[in-house]
Structure 1
Amino acid sequence: MPPVPPPTPADLEAARDAVIDDVLGPDLDVLFCGINPSLYSAATGHHFARPGNRFWPALHLSGLVPRRLAPYEQHLLPGYGLGITNLAPRATARAEELTAEELRQGAERLAHLVAEVRPRVLAVAGVSAYRLAFGRRRAAIGPQDEEIAGSEVWVLPNPSGLNARWTLDGIAAQMRLLRRPI
């Protein structure tokens, strides 16, 4: 699939509330879960597509994939045992536009998806959203004390470029911890 040209401002506005498909496959080692698609991602149809989002470079630096993939190559992820979904399916300009109820409903939907797909690890990218969605006010980055449908749960830093508190290397280091021990 070739790269998609950058969306126009009209494309971005038209993408508001759109939904993009999950990237799933059999025998997933890690199912990454974003908060929700950005307007840019919804306009292109690719997860973590906004320029400045550090998901794809961090994924490569972590060693989970052998080269840096572009968002339009998301279909390759299941071949590496990886998938992507979101807590809230609808696209917004900023995650803050989501309601607490949407995030809680997303946690319920996610639990059903994890029970169906059965990844080894569910990795939620965004500690604040995780805390609200799952009612875990003290959750921190890293492995959680709970499992969902038999899958380990990890919380990763949000890879958005707006999350200046975490560097690319720091996000990649957290992702590296998800690798299956050899």
Structure 2
Amino acid sequence: MRAVSGLWRWRHNALRRATDLAEAWVALVALVLITLAAPVTGCLVGAAAQDSLQRAVRQQQHTRRLVTATVVRDLGEAPLDTDPDITPGREVRSRVLARWTAPDGTRRYGMALAGLKSPHPGDPFRIWTDPHGRITTRPLDAPTATTHAVLAGTGAALVLVALVESARRLAVWRMVRRRYARWDQAWERAGPDWGKAGTGC
């Protein structure tokens, strides 16, 4: 990170300008924010995400049920997996018309994704249902929730680092532009007398 490069201007130097000191302060503040605030922000966001996701895990595992369904008719291979987070890679899934029993004992019929290579009428397979007997996705598990929380915390920390570094670069860019503008003004004042005898140049 280039923020550290501004710290050399803290050295005692007769040629040091006020803008050099300002750049050093900006670099120091950016360094402190990146080394302290970014990890704290990442931990806080990760902890909040973990708490929320673990509540979702408990709620889903409490309300979703794994039931046995029976194939009524094969509808062909599923074009896409509906939930890549919980579906094992490249698992063959077929669309079938199926029947199953809801928690209240009523019979249900509908399209379902079955992990069967060549489903035939009467083949059993397992599906997840909600409290009303509707097909739903498998409940989120604790390790997956933790992984998502860690990614959220890491992402928040990286976003803060990017924002701080962008603010530092913008501040330095404005200082450099102001410095060049002052140089241009000084050259304009000296320009008419440049090289004339008796001007002290």
TM range, normalised to the smaller chain? Answer: under 0.3
TM-score w.r.t. structure 2 length?
A: 0.18
> Rg larger in 1 or in 2?
2
TM-score w.r.t. structure 1 length?
A: 0.19
